[in-house]
Amino acid sequence: MTSGSLVFSANIRFTRALSRVPCPPIHPSIRRPFSFSLSRRFSSRDGLKESSTRSCSDRRGKFVPRAALSETTGRGQFPKVAAQSTGPIPPTQLIQVVEAAAKSGAQVVMDAVNKPRNISYKGITDLVTDTDKMSEESILEVVKKNFPNHLILGEEGGIIGDPSSDYLWCIDPLDGTTNFAHGYPSFAVSVGVLFQGNPAAAAVVEFVGGPMCWNTRIFSATAGGGAFCNGEKICVSKTDKVERSLLVTGFGYEHDDAWSTNIDLFKEFTDISRGVRRLGAAAVDMCHVALGIVEAYWEYRLKPWDMAAGVLILEEAGGAVTRMDGGKFCVFDRSVLVSNGILHDQLLERIGPATQKLKGKGMDFSLWYKPENYRTAL
């Protein structure tokens, strides 16, 4: 098997490939079985801390049709971001299409991952490849075939579809394009769908490994249905001290006040934690918090397609989501802080005041963008 074959396994060892065929429309009466599974369970011999995902190894069960009605996460502190339900579309049907769309885009990326890149630039360092555009086209084909009347916001193609729809698809066809262009993990395909403005279903296909040994794993979630990686239920870590945590952040392309503020936060948390990583793909970063391998992630200046899938997966794994000033989050906001929930207040003690100072300097923290006439419950 070549390293360009798309596989969905938790191991670097290649177990099976999916043929490159167009994704057919999914009929509402068809419920396809989920065949992804982790090939081993973690044990104490793996040397993992007690907060690892091994305590969340339930296989995917039936989806809960409605999210919990509580306005807060399970820890009772932070407002929920997930939709109250998936609306008139059953969660099983919606997640099937979301996963099919994400995997369709991921196949395009896998086909290109070991080939020369054709790169163009949106800005001095903000690049885009032909693969971004081809991946988005493939994703759009799946979405339109199944839900022709839904509204879609793509990173490359902008807004298309019916603005009166209750559903908005937020698509990042290649999150971490710079990493992809260099052949450096991590990068991913991210597909999230909102119902009346709140995340209802999500899938992120992460590329792991590296040149000559590329592999993938798929994260997914529905509102109220839990979070999964390759079909195994996942949950955030139980780490309760910042000094025992591993953290992640990100930096935008503009070297402005927000960039400088986050450089200072990077330094502060590097001093008091086990380390701060900068991986370069927001959807991947949030999925890593959901998986329990890092404790928190924050970043300014993200867009809806960066966050729509990752925040739902994180929250359904038991984590907390807010803005970086501690306020209630929505996917149209300009900052995000996600964590295992336990550490959230401790992180906000430093991140919150720094963000308030940016507001004092006049930085715009209003909603970045909401499609005109799109109906939301926000």
Q: How do beta strands 246-249 and 296-300 pair?
A: parallel
User: Tokens in use for 198?
Assistant: 């709140």
Distance in angstroms (rounded) separating the CA atoms of residues 100 and 203: 9
Q: Estimate to the nearest angstrom the gap between the alpha carbon of 295 and the chain centroid.
A: 15
285 in a known ligand binding site: no
Q: 61 near 33, Cβ under 8 Å?
A: no
User: Tokens in use for 145?
Assistant: 């075939």
DSSP secondary-structure letter at 44? G
Length of the chain: 378
**Which of these, 161, 131, 134, 158, lies nearest to 146 by C-alpha position?**
161
DSSP secondary-structure letter at 318? T
Positive or negative torsion for Cα 299, 171, 363, 178? positive
Distance in angstroms (rounded) separating the CA atoms of residues 243 and 196: 39
**Which of these, 102, 340, 141, 93, lies nearest to 241 by C-alpha position?**
340
306 in a known ligand binding site: yes
Location of structure tokens 């963000």 = 355
Beta-carbon count within 10 A of 377 CB: 12
155 in a known ligand binding site: yes
Dihedral class, residue 272 (left if φ above 0, else alpha if ψ from -120 to 50, else beta): alpha
Positive or negative torsion for Cα 306, 310, 315, 318? negative
206 in a known ligand binding site: no
Distance in angstroms (rounded) separating the CA atoms of residues 106 and 94: 18
Q: How do beta strands 275-277 and 227-229 pair?
A: unpaired
Beta-carbon count within 10 A of 45 CB: 6
Q: Tell me the binding residues for Mg(2+).
A: 155, 172, 174-175, 306
Q: Tell me the binding residues.
A: 155, 172, 174-175, 306
